[in-house]
Amino acid sequence: MKDKSPILIALLGVVIGVLGTIIVGIAGRQQKKAASDKDWSKLNLVLQQVRENYVDEVNVPEVTEAAIIAALSKLDPHSLYLPPTDLQEAETDLAGNFDGIGIQFNVPNDTAIVLEVIAGGPSEKAGLLPGDRILEVDGKVIAGVKYPQDSMVRRMKGPAGTNVKIKIIRDKEPVVFDITRGRIPIHCVDASFMIGDTTGYIRLNKFSATTYQEVFIAATDLYRQGMKKLVMDIRDNSGGYFSQALLLSNLFLGQGDNIVYLDGLHRKREEYKADGKGAFQDLKLVVIINENSASSSEIFAGAIQDNDRGVIVGRRSYGKGLVQEPLYFTDGSAVRISVARYYTPSGRCIQRPYNGGGQEYQMDIYNRYLDGEMFSQDSVKTDTTDVYYTVSGRTVYGGGGIMPDIYVPIDTTRATDFYVKCNRKALPVKFSSEIFDKYKARLGAIDNFGDLENFFENINIPAAFLSYAAKEGVYAKRGEWDASKSYMMPYLRALIGRYSKLGQNAYYKLFLPVDDTVTVALTAE
């Protein structure tokens, strides 16, 4: 790794000399009048000369930020500059809570439909209900105008204690709610339930400040229901707090088991071990990963694999193993500098190579599709010269990311023309919304899987969906529905089920029968 401290000095010089912003705890540096190629004040001097001599007025903050971004881009893909807004969003996403009105919504037909009203939150207190369609936020029309979903979220969010007017339509009648925003919890456990008598399932979407607590509570509840084996699903989990990865690993590992170590040019090697106090050391464990499992997810999966503590199922993980340390500026922005790398207990570096430059690195997942890695284990590019061993002596390979013990490809055999056309128009999602409108009172009151199954038995979903698709101009050719229904029916049931009080638990549990990776995980030992 190249020496990064000179780059950092240059960046600090830019901010101090040009922007006049002071980094907390770092003294100002004296500017030099001349600079050589090896003198890191050169960038500072150039920008100062631009400000003093350039032919037109210079937007100093804009130029300064551009210089910072350009400098960091020469380091690695994960050292970056975060403007105040981006920094706030990034930290809010991992904090475990945010200020807002407390709803989850979906936008199937260019109109936001409330899926869930968070218990005890501002929206529940005001009277919003699942199925309400949001027309306006503070007088701004957001329905039927292709309003961006992220912009909807930003309009509804705001400091706790402030008010926002939400206009909805319910039973064809418009209603306006004056809602006082409050502190809303962000849950990282999407779903938690039993699969059969002895197997539990937990879906974890991120490593936030509440991850350990949420997983511990969920796993304890499943254990009381008779769980002897846990399937921990961390697919599409992009990571988060390092400390939470350590705590989660500690739940399952024995005393003295290595979890991870950090090493860098300017950072002494730091090793982290389990303390032996984890509550689930004897529980059978299967961890599901995929190409979007990154960072803290890979630390957890690597620790479980290298200690032979459980079975890893799925596809090769993302390969993000650089340690970032933040430097905060008084204007609310920050830079995150990579200072070390994460290594699994066997010594594998989690970070995949990035020598090919930013574009090649960003295209890696796409290239895995082109190379066939997502569809065939034989197409996986394994560096067989980069060999490591688990505690029992099993061979594992480096090269970046975590390669699962059991590979599961993406299944493309179900993709009939009818299925592809339906998904292209998002018909399953739109259909589930229409079913909820039709059976709102009944479906919205269901709070257990038995009643949900009874509900499905009394409505003819195949006939209703085929009729709905036809009205949208999509027709199933002879034999297409028979070829597609084994996959589409669980998906339709899952989408409809999440409108019940079971929420995401219903979605994931009802979709499991056609989730090939979970099917493999259930038989893995």
Identify whether 320 is a catalytic site residue: yes
Backbone phi, then psi, for 409, in 5-degree steps? Answer: -80, 165
Output the six-digit token pair for 441: 């009172």
For the question of residue 150 being annotated catalytic, the response is no
Cα–Cα distance, 123 to 117 (Å, whole number): 7
Encoding tokens for residue 370? 């082109």
Q: Which long-range contacts (CB under 8 A, 24 or more apart) does 354-359 make?
A: 354/76, 354/77, 358/73, 358/77
Residues near 450 by beta carbon (within 8 Å), at least 6 away in sequence: none
Rounded Cα distance, 81 and 66, in Å: 10
Element (H, E) at 167: strand 163-170
d(CA 243, CA 413): 41
DSSP SS3 for 350: coil
3 state SS for 466-516: HHHHHHCCCCCCCCHHHHHHHHHHHHHHHHHHCCCCCHHHHHHHHHHHHCH
Query: Tokens representing 134?
Result: 């949001």
* Rounded Cα distance, 59 and 63, in Å: 6
DSSP 313: E
Of 320, 430, 485, 509, the active-site residue reads 320
Q: Which of 192, 293, 295, 296 is catalytic?
A: 295
Kindly name the residue from 306, 364, 405, 515 that is annotated as catalytic: 306
- Within 181-319, residue ranges assigned H as helices are 211-224, 242-252, 296-306
Residue 262 main-chain phi, psi, to 5 deg: -115, 145
Alpha-carbon distances, residue 346 vs 99, 260, 379 (angstroms) = 42, 9, 25
CB neighbourhood size of 326 (10 A): 12
Residue with tokens 């002895």: 198
Q: In this structure, are strands 258-264 and 334-343 parallel, antiparallel, or unpaired?
A: antiparallel
Give the length of the chain: 525
Spatial contact of 497 and 452, defined as CB atoms under 8 Å apart: yes
Tell me the catalytic residues: 295, 306, 320
